[in-house]
Amino acid sequence: MSVDATTVRRIAHLARIAVSEDEVAPLQGELNAILAFVEQLGAVDVTGVEPMTSVTPMAMKKRADVVTDGAKADAIVANAPETEDHYFLVPKVVE
């Protein structure tokens, strides 16, 4: 499969990307190179290879889903110019 200039413009339009006429030809070459690589991957023999559900071969350890305060309130407001009871103090902006 190859991409022509009209297809590059259509892809750019669908992706909401502004592409000038000078950029169409280089993008056409890049897209054709990507598609050629994908075609190469399609030629790989994967007979007997189990489908993967994750890139990690082991089960991930999961933490308990517990609601906490984070225990980081002091660290979060440490650089604030003014605080009170772990809250940022800011000037009133709405009257």
Domain assignment present for 49: no
CATH code: domain of residue 24: 1.10.20
Tens digits of residue pLDDT in 8-54: 999 999 999 999 999 999 999 999 999 999 999 888 998 988 887 77
Q: Say yes or no to pLDDT of 60 above 80.
A: no
> In this predicted structure, what is the pLDDT of residue 72?
86
Q: Say yes or no to pLDDT of 95 above 80.
A: no
Residues in the chain: 95
At residue 75, φ and ψ (nearest 5 deg) are -70, -35
Query: Which residues form the domain of 13?
Result: 5-42
Task: Give the global pTM.
Answer: 0.50
Number of domains in the chain: 1
Domain assignment present for 14: yes
Domain assignment present for 33: yes
Domain assignment present for 15: yes
> In this predicted structure, what is the pLDDT of residue 55?
75
Domain assignment present for 95: no
Positions of E strands within the chain: 83-84, 87-88
The dihedral built from the CA positions of residue 47, 48, 51 and 54, taken in this order, carries a sign that is: negative
Domain assignment present for 25: yes
Tens digits of residue pLDDT in 67-79: 887 788 888 889 8
Which tokens hold the place of 48? 């007997």
Q: Say yes or no to pLDDT of 56 above 80.
A: no
Domain assignment present for 80: no
At residue 84, φ and ψ (nearest 5 deg) are -155, 120
Report the greatest alpha carbon distance in the chain.
Answer: 70
In this structure, the dihedral spanned by the alpha carbons of residues 87, 88, 90 and 95, taken in order and rounded to 10 degrees, is -40
Domain assignment present for 37: yes
